[in-house]
Amino acid sequence: MSSAFDAVEVIRTKRDHEVLSDDAIRWVIDAYTKGGVADEQMAALLMAVLLNGMSAPELSTWTAAMIESGDRLDLSGVSRPTVDKHSTGGVGDKVSLILAPLVAACGAAVPQLSGRGLGHTGGTLDKLESIPGWRAHLSNEEIVRQLDEVGAVICAAGEGLAPADRKLYSLRDVTATVESIPLIAASIMSKKIAEGTASLVLDVKVGVGAFMKDRERAALLARTMVGLGGDHGVATMAMLTAMDAPLGRAAGNGLEVTESVEVLQGGGPADVVEVTVALAHEMLALAGITGEDPAARLRDGSAYAAYRAMITAQGGDPDAPMPVARVIEPIVAKRSGRISRMDALAVGVAAWRLGAGRARKEDSVSAAAGVVCLAKPGDEVEEGQPVFELHADRASVLDRASAALDGAIDITDGPVAPGPLVLERIGS
């Protein structure tokens, strides 16, 4: 098939607002993955896609070609129904750490292949690597065995899973084509479909601390991904959830593990519990599991037991103390009143500057660094009362982190009514 196509002709077709044939799409993805199409040619095609979009059939084939570029994990032998969740990322979003064992405690199997953080949003693997001994890399056989025995696994995606996405993702990052909704949808869904789950719930974050800041675009992304799931035999639904303020009180790797354990033990911040339980209900519905109450599984200890088993199965010590920052510095309220706004992006940038995140994929992260929100929107504070706590391994990073939080909160004299956390439900 390769002799029938030419990269320049494929680029020209999309540049001129024409529809790419299925064969042309499969050829260009395969040729680029194998090195037969140059980066500059694929960059031109990505820009044409960003500017001119893709039809639904084009996008479905593009996604299929990305899946076909590598392996597809076979979970057909797992004894429980499989269901996964993907979040588009936010600040303090530690939901995966709680949700996977919670849904496992309700009878499903959750195969969560996760990534690392980049910029102001934290990565699930970075958080779990704060736990001594825990390992992110498992073989396919280990994944299947753990799903059968424990019901939940959170691990790194193997190198053979959708390799086309890995190349395209890196290229989009340096060619100003990240924002394309078709390309975002194909990137997310190719990996999730390739991991072999039967059903999928998408948590699309919306707000200043999210990748998608506009609700209309977030809904379009959600609908696009739900459609792709259906095209490829994966029952998929999406929820839009708010990310204007951080989720929970902790933003930072080890800090978020500690907060996740609090939730799994029946406590923790109410907003984290609300979003987690809402997603769990949707996952169980897609998995065909009825009569289970996720909130009850948090209260009775069964979700925490599943978490301990998941961590232990991957070499981690669930009883090990979390790393503690060498330097902790408070930031205080400048006036008395009630917090009406807290900027999630500012908190995420502060945590990143403290060492919790990375600017480049090869950077290391601190397990102890991050920001603790001692008060949240709706809380009353007094002038001089600590509102944030900065956690760092060295004092030299405190000034820049503190600067990120200048103007991060508004304090008012009147009552404050926090907005809803779950904004919209899209899909089956």
Q: Which residues are catalytic?
A: 86, 165, 172, 187, 191
Residue the block writes with tokens 């009569």? 291
Distance CA 354, CA 253 (A): 11
Q: Which residues pair with 110 in a beta bridge?
A: 152
Distance CA 91, CA 127 (A): 13
Extract the tokens encoding 223: 């609908």
Instruction: Provide φ and ψ at 332, rounded to 5°.
Output: -105, 160
264: left (phi over 0), alpha (psi -120 to 50) or beta: alpha
Distance of CA 190 to the CA centre of its chain: 15
